[in-house]
């Protein structure tokens, strides 16, 4: 198969676009498409201070790489969850993130959860008697809190994440199967900052397939953590991705159409957001971040319970916190 633009041998065929490209043209195409998404959804202006949430995986490091290529001022943020599970997962992922930052001479900010809070998110999930399979929810809560804290204190204009179209389609698929209206209302390529203190968030890769991001990372020689998080094994979202890929194989463009049609339907009034539920007006008594609750936010409630179970964690918390 030949490149549509130059007749050289193609390295990728994107059936949903009926487009095959050679190495050079594909490496131009990804930043072009990313910029187009940034513009289409008015994610952030050219002079924005950007905080890239990096996990050490291909998507976030590829996103950081693309944003730097496009000339944006983008610092990285790595949140070390302390997840080990016998493969030093967090430690290894952190090394990949740091290696990228060193190679590109850019700043990587690090939040070390075990250092800040006294233990790992996996241990916190156990201590709070959550099902071990629910470690992902503790991890997500912790990461969102840390991201928002760093974005606010570092005066960043926007937090960007490496969510690709497969991620978005899988989440949409799951939320639709279960009619989770609250999540459906909130799923957007960009979430604006709120007066109550949530930082702006954007997903510049939301229209790119995961396969395209993987190809970009490979061709750019980006070293990334190849292992999935040990707690992701068997995750429902992975099942949804596989299901959608089987549909995509039979009907190219299924994933793209599913996601874009959803955004279009929503913009035409498919859902009516309930404003009173969308903008928490309370501030957490401990950390000051927005919350729907009267006293502590969900993050502080969780980690307070952990601290009560871990006396040494309390001492660390009192000497400096996230």
Partner 1 sequence: MTDSQARAYLTTATFTLRGEEYTVRAGSAVRDALLKLNLSPDAYLVVRGDELITDDVLIEPGETLRVLPVISGGASTA
The residue from 231, 258, 262, 303 that contacts partner 1 (CB under 8 A) is: 231
Q: Which is nearer to partner 1, 187 or 307 (CB)?
A: 187
The residue from 8, 13, 45, 91 that contacts partner 1 (CB under 8 A) is: 13
Q: Binding to partner 1 by residue 241, rule CB under 8 A?
A: yes
Q: Which is nearer to partner 1, 146 or 310 (CB)?
A: 146
The residue from 27, 70, 235, 283 that contacts partner 1 (CB under 8 A) is: 235
Q: Binding to partner 1 by residue 186, rule CB under 8 A?
A: yes
Q: Which is nearer to partner 1, 44 or 240 (CB)?
A: 240
Q: Binding to partner 1 by residue 190, rule CB under 8 A?
A: no
Among residue numbers 58 through 87, which ones bind partner 1 (CB under 8 A)?
58-59
* Binding piece for partner 1, criterion CB under 8 A, among 97-105, 115-123, 241-249, 280-288: 241-249
CB of 174 to partner 1, least distance (A): 8
Q: Binding to partner 1 by residue 167, rule CB under 8 A?
A: yes
CB of 238 to partner 1, least distance (A): 7
Contact (CB, 8 A) for 258 and 166: no
Q: Which is nearer to partner 1, 58 or 307 (CB)?
A: 58
Q: Which is nearer to partner 1, 215 or 306 (CB)?
A: 215
Spatial distance between the Cα atoms of 123 and 129, rounded to a whole number of angstroms: 10
Q: Binding to partner 1 by residue 136, rule CB under 8 A?
A: yes
Contact (CB, 8 A) for 231 and 83: yes
* Binding piece for partner 1, criterion CB under 8 A, among 245-253, 263-271, 289-297, 312-320: 245-253
Please give the backbone phi and psi of residue 52, each rounded to the nearest 5 degrees, phi first. -95, 120
272-to-164, 183, 262, 265, 266 alpha-carbon distances in Å: 25, 12, 14, 11, 9
213-to-33, 97, 106, 219, 305 alpha-carbon distances in Å: 12, 17, 21, 10, 39
The sign of the torsion formed by the CA atoms of 306, 309, 310, 315 equals positive
Which residue do the tokens 């302390």 mark? 82
Spatial distance between the Cα atoms of 222 and 213, rounded to a whole number of angstroms: 11
**Closest alpha carbon to 260 in 181, 193, 189, 319:** 189
**Closest alpha carbon to 211 in 171, 261, 255:** 255
Contact (CB, 8 A) for 77 and 153: no
Q: Which is nearer to partner 1, 65 or 248 (CB)?
A: 248
CB of 170 to partner 1, least distance (A): 9
CB of 57 to partner 1, least distance (A): 5
Q: Which is nearer to partner 1, 118 or 280 (CB)?
A: 280
Q: Binding to partner 1 by residue 10, rule CB under 8 A?
A: yes
Other beta carbons within 10 angstroms of residue 71's beta carbon come to 10
Contact (CB, 8 A) for 225 and 93: yes
Q: Binding to partner 1 by residue 210, rule CB under 8 A?
A: yes
List alpha helices for 111-201, DSSP H: 113-117, 121-127, 135-153, 165-177, 181-186
Spatial distance between the Cα atoms of 220 and 213, rounded to a whole number of angstroms: 10
Residues lying near partner 1 in the complex (CB under 8 A) are found at 1, 10-13, 20, 23, 57-59, 136, 139-140, 163, 166-167, 171, 174-175, 180, 183, 186-187, 209-211, 213-215, 218-219, 228-229, 231-232, 235-238, 241-242, 245-246, 248-249
């Amino acid at each position: 198969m030949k490149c549509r633009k130059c007749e050289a041998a193609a390295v990728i065929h994107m059936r949903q676009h009926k487009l095959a490209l050679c190495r050079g043209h594909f490496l131009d195409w990804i930043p072009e498409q990313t910029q187009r998404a940034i513009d289409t959804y008015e994610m952030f202006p050219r002079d924005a201070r950007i905080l890239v949430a990096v996990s050490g995986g291909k998507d976030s490091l590829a996103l950081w790489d693309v944003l730097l290529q496009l000339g944006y001022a983008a610092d990285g943020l790595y949140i070390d969850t302390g997840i080990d599970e016998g493969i030093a997962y967090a430690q290894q992922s952190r090394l990949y993130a740091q290696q990228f930052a060193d190679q590109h001479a850019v700043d990587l900010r690090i939040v070390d959860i075990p250092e800040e809070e006294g233990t790992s998110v996996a241990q916190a999930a156990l201590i709070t008697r959550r099902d071990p399979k629910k470690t992902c929810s503790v991890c997500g809560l912790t990461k969102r809190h840390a991201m928002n804290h760093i974005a606010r204190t570092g005066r960043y204009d926007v937090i960007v994440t490496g969510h690709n179209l497969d991620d978005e389609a899988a989440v949409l698929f799951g939320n639709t199967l279960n009619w989770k209206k609250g999540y459906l209302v909130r799923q957007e390529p960009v979430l604006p900052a709120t007066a109550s203190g949530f930082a702006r968030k954007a997903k510049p890769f939301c229209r790119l397939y995961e396969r395209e991001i993987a190809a970009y990372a490979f061709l750019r020689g980006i070293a990334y953590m190849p292992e999935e998080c040990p707690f992701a094994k068997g995750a429902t979202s992975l099942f949804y991705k596989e299901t959608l890929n089987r549909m995509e194989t039979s009907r190219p463009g299924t994933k793209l159409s599913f996601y874009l049609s959803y955004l279009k339907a929503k913009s035409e009034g498919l859902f009516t957001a309930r404003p009173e539920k969308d903008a928490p007006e309370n501030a957490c008594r401990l950390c000051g971040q927005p919350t729907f609750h009267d006293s502590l936010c969900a993050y502080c409630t969780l980690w307070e319970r952990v601290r009560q179970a871990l006396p040494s964690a309390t001492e660390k918390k009192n000497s400096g916190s996230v």
